[in-house]
Amino acid sequence: MKTIADLRDNLFKVLDDLSDKNASAETIARAKAISDIAQTIINTAKVEVDYIRAAGGKGGTGFLGAAAAPALPDKRDDKDVVERGKGYTVRQHRLEG
pLDDT single digits (tens) 24-72? 899 889 999 999 998 998 898 888 888 877 777 777 777 776 555 555 5
Q: Is residue 95 part of a domain?
A: no
Q: What is the mean pLDDT of residues 79-87?
A: 74
Q: Is residue 59 part of a domain?
A: yes
Query: Exposed, middle or buried: residue 72 (CB in 10 Å: 0-12, 13-18, 19+)?
Result: middle
Segments forming the whole domain that contains residue 65: 4-69
What pLDDT shows up at residue 50?
Answer: 83
What pLDDT shows up at residue 33?
Answer: 93
Distance in angstroms (rounded) separating the CA atoms of residues 69 and 60: 10
More confident residue, 38 or 2: 38
If one counts the domains in the chain, the total is 1
Q: Is residue 93 part of a domain?
A: no
Q: Is residue 15 part of a domain?
A: yes
What pLDDT shows up at residue 88?
Answer: 81
Q: Is residue 55 part of a domain?
A: yes
